[in-house]
Structure 1
Amino acid sequence: MDNLEFYRQTIETILRKYAEIPYSFGEIDQHLIVDRERNHFMLFDVGWQQKRRVHGCITHVQIIDDKIWIQRDGIEDGITNELVEAGIGKDRIVLGFQPPEVRPHTGYAVA
Structure 2
Amino acid sequence: MLQIAYRAKDITEAHIVAGLLNANGIETYVGGHYLQGAMGEIGAAGFSNVHVGDEDLYPARQLVAEYEASSRVTPASDGGDGKPDSYARWFLLAMAVLALILLNL
Higher relative contact order, chain-length normalized (CA < 8 Å, sep 6+) = 2
Bigger strand share: 1
**Structure 1 length-normalised TM:** 0.33
Bigger helix share: 2
**Structure 2 length-normalised TM:** 0.35
